[in-house]
Amino acid sequence: MSEFENLTATPPPPSGEPTAEEKQWAMFAHLSALAALFTGGLGGVVGPLIIWLIKKDTLPFVNDQGKEALNFNITVLIAIVALCIVGTILMIVLIGFLFFLLAGVVGIAWLVLTIIATIKASNGEAYRYPLTLRLIK
């Protein structure tokens, strides 16, 4: 398995039906990423990180979904920063606006996928974000 395949491999969800408490905390792990809207992006990583660190040892479903939310938000943060840097550099040749437009599309996809993950977690379903680097295992 290549290093990239190892980074993007989707782990299996935890087995068994999550408790109501696990569903609620998993939902909070996904919802806490919305703090990025008020903190310039960094809150999208800090929110899920805090919930995952607090609950990972006691609630298996939250451990799984907290890692998933954290990995997804790290991936999105890397993508947005990269697109903005490249877009700024390419503004000199007047095509940089395309990268800022693409960053907007990534932002909208982030919001939609975060809402979907929140709904799935509240229903007790393990959600896997697409195109996510699995940095935290």
Given this model, what pLDDT does residue 73 score? 94
Report the distance separating Cα 73 and Cα 42, nearest Å: 9
In this prediction, residues 9-17 reach a mean pLDDT of 65
Given this model, what pLDDT does residue 115 score? 96
| 27-41, 54-68, 105-119: least confidently modelled range | 27-41
End-to-end CA distance of the chain: 16
Q: What is the pTM of this model?
A: 0.81
Counting Cα atoms < 13 Å in the Cβ hemisphere of 34 gives: 12
DSSP code string of 75-91:
HHHHHHHHHHHHHHHHG
**Structure tokens given for 81:** 């920063």
**Structure tokens given for 96:** 């940089």
Residue 133 has pLDDT above 60, yes or no: yes
Counting Cα atoms < 13 Å in the Cβ hemisphere of 43 gives: 10
Domain boundaries, the chain: 19-122
The confidence band for 10, taking pLDDT boundaries of 50, 70 and 90, is low
Which residues, other chains included, contact 21 with Cβ-Cβ below 8 Å and sequence gap of 6+? 59
